[in-house]
A and B are shown apart, each in its own frame.
Chain A
């Protein structure tokens, strides 16, 4: 569980790390848009090349990106199976026994998979280069306009920030409970489905109980330190847009524009 790469912050010094989190968040949305629009493999290749440059600038190895794909492998296989069963158009590529696999099924799946992989890479790039606290400040800034319709932007950002802060603590707690249950004979790996469900329950119930206890204590600690939801607060981290942030957003806008243009010209 500690090997989880997706969403992990890598604290190193790089140009990508130094960008304003708001610029990176805006860039993320623009790039995800750019990934969704095109229908040409050449555009995907161009986006992948841009991403490779960003990864180089961020000093993040390709290995980490590949590792971040791991949790998605099962979903991709599932997608391939479903598409092979449901898409029955185009030429027959090959047959398995009497079952034919069509060209469209494979190509549509590959399209979706490439889009997914690019999206995961872009998101990993954002989370790996942005401190969780800065990320929540960026999210809060993006959600700020919604306060006009009484959306609790600050509270949501605070919740996200606390959730991110508690991920390692909860993982540690999960491992501790798993070991305690294993020592009492609970088998998490083997057995029938019903046994596995009961094993998982023996983990989830105490985990929830501990999480609630922690939440109550944390709420007391926050209240005791003068935190009042919705009240005015000053900020230790003050975000500032600089020239390079505007430049980064501009590059992302150009990529999105290029991607949209490719729909008409390629």
Chain B
């Protein structure tokens, strides 16, 4: 069987294009980082209403992304939403115990995310701790209802 070198070279190049394309998709398009996913720590927060918050939503502090929402589930004890957050590990031992978490909306109709703001307690949040002070999502219907009932009572 005659094997031509240019053909082998072409097929090799073709495979290389595929691998490089996959790397491009991974790094540039899906924004994967090469750092290990283990350098995070876990914090929980209970909200009475999460609105449209979704898993993988951003967790920010002063507008800077510091983590992601890992899971959302119903807490059957209090019938509120238990949200599990994954925060960057360089914040471990930096956030005070009375840090507050609020569900905010990007723009008027944008996606919802969690904003953390620091408190003044000398104790700090560790892996697995629970954020006590939370502020629920702004649900537009409730807001309108409140507004209308205020108008009527006035």
Same assembly: no
